Amino acid sequence: MAEPSRALDPQGQDVGLPQPYLLFLGDTVEPGYAKTAFGLCDWAPDRCIGELALPGATVSTGIPRLSCREAYAKGARALLIGVATPGGAIPHHWISALLDALKAGLDIVSGMHARLNDIPQLAATAEMLGRRLIDVRVPPARIPIATGRKRCGKRLLTVGTDCALGKKYAALSIARGLEGRGADVTFRATGQTGIMIAGSGIPIDAVVSDFIAGAAEMLTPDAPPDHIDVIEGQGSLFHPAYAAVSLGLLHGSQPDMFVACHEPGRTHVLGYSGFQLPSIEELILQTVVLGKLTNPDIRCVGVSLNTSGMNVEAAQRLIAAESDRLGLPVADPVRGGPAFERLLDRCQG
């Protein structure tokens, strides 16, 4: 998972990402929108030199706050946009900071839907200074339409009651845990942060809807019978905007197993206060019903709880209580421990 990530330049050529990074947090006040920055700090800390935030930002990854010039002097070679905005747009009031990065000697790496080279000021300045503008959220060309054909190998998908609550962390933790047990396993990234961490993948939410299931099939090809693809989930089947992405990924990945992910205490969809989160039981039922279209044998093997907002004792009590209530292994994969080992037992099939 420490290989350089892959991205595409404006001509569609595969390029390596310039590292290390100065993480750009914009003026973000919602930690859930900074999941790219947090993901890189947690899973690739050696690539993160510092962070840059605009006035008004209240989110921090905890690494040093640096200016673009300070970061370049310390070895940073790219400003990486570490936050997401609704719809993946790059706000106009960010442009000045991005221009400063180019002038300080940094390339810019983005996982947003908006293309860096489509912003005239950035494109002109980058060309003048010889800097690179690199977009990670670009799907490969010629994605096929899904066939629905059952493929060899095992597949595990993380699904969630909402966005930004731990599907990526759960998948990375499970893949690493199974690898530590000697299993033949591959983490399959489906979002920009996962791709930056793993070095490859397909940004599923940037794929035209008719081809999402095909992209998932492409990402998880035939494999030996004992091989396990651990697939990073996206969105939620209950999300008013992103459910289509989740459904296409579910159908195309044809998971034999899935892990249901939830954040205790979250009651409404992030950014959509009018929509209540489903229960874990509703998530499991809906995933099985919809997943049976392409894999009649789909089953839930456990639950991942994001207990980062709880102390150790409270988290352990909740994990034990939920396991008893649901009759499934329940764990916080980031905390690890015996509960997580029991979840890994089920993930091995």
The larger pLDDT score, comparing residue 164 to residue 304, is at 304
What average pLDDT does the segment 51-72 reach?
97
pTM: 0.86
Contact 48, 40 (CB under 8 A): yes
Amino acid residing at 134: I
Encoding tokens for residue 127?
Answer: 């060309």
In the chain, ranges of CATH 3.40.50.300 domains: 154-347
- Give me the pLDDT at residue 125, please: 98
Using the predicted structure, report yes or no on whether residue 13 has a pLDDT greater than 80. Answer: no
What pLDDT is recorded for position 253?
A: 98
Q: Which residues of 83-97 are buried (b: 16+ CB within 10 A; e: fewer)?
A: bbbeebebeeebeeb
Give yes or no for residue 284 having a pLDDT over 50. yes
Quick one: pLDDT at residue 88? 83
Whole-angstrom distance, CA of residue 170 vs CA of residue 303: 10
Residues 51, 66 contacting (CB under 8 angstroms): yes
Under 8 Å between Cβ of 156 and 255: yes
Question: Tell me, what's the pLDDT at 14?
Answer: 43
- The pLDDT value recorded for residue 10 is 39
pLDDT at 2: 28
In tens, the pLDDT along 62-83 reads 999 999 999 999 999 999 999 9
Report the run of H or E that residue 281 belongs to, with start and end: helix 280-291
Kindly state the percentage of the chain with pLDDT values over 70. Answer: 96
pLDDT of residue 118: 95
* 142 band by pLDDT with thresholds 50, 70 and 90: very high
Find the mean pLDDT for residues 232-260: 97
Whether residue 15 is predicted with pLDDT greater than 80 in this model: the reply is no
Predicted pLDDT of residue 349: 75
Question: What is residue 151's DSSP assignment?
Answer: -
Mean pLDDT, range 188-193, rounded to an integer: 94
- Looking at the DSSP bridge assignments, the partners of residue 258 are 157, 300
Cβ-in-10-Å burial (0-12, 13-18, 19+) of 146 comes to buried
Distance separating the N- and C-terminal Cα atoms of the chain:
23
For position 17, what pLDDT does the model report? Answer: 82
Where in the chain are all domains bearing CATH 3.40.50.720?
A: 6-135
Q: What's the alpha-carbon Rg for the chain, to the nearest Å?
A: 20
Whole-number pLDDT of residue 32: 82
Residues 6+ apart with CB under 8 A from 91: 26, 85
Residue 141, pLDDT above cutoff 50: yes
The predicted model gives 256-276 an average pLDDT of 96
- Classify domain 6-135 at the CATH topology level: Rossmann fold (3.40.50)
Give SS3 for 92. helix
What is residue 5's predicted lDDT score, i.e. its pLDDT?
36
Per-residue model confidence (pLDDT) at position 4: 30
- d(CA 262, CA 278) in angstroms, rounded, equals 10
Residue 1 has pLDDT above 50, yes or no: no
**Amino acid letter, 338:** P
Give 180's pLDDT tier (boundaries 50, 70, 90).
Answer: very high
Residue 172: CA count within 13 A, CB half-sphere: 23
Is residue 23 pLDDT above 60, yes or no? yes
Report the topology of domain 154-347.
Answer: Rossmann fold (3.40.50)
Confidence of residue 44 (pLDDT cuts 50, 70, 90): very high
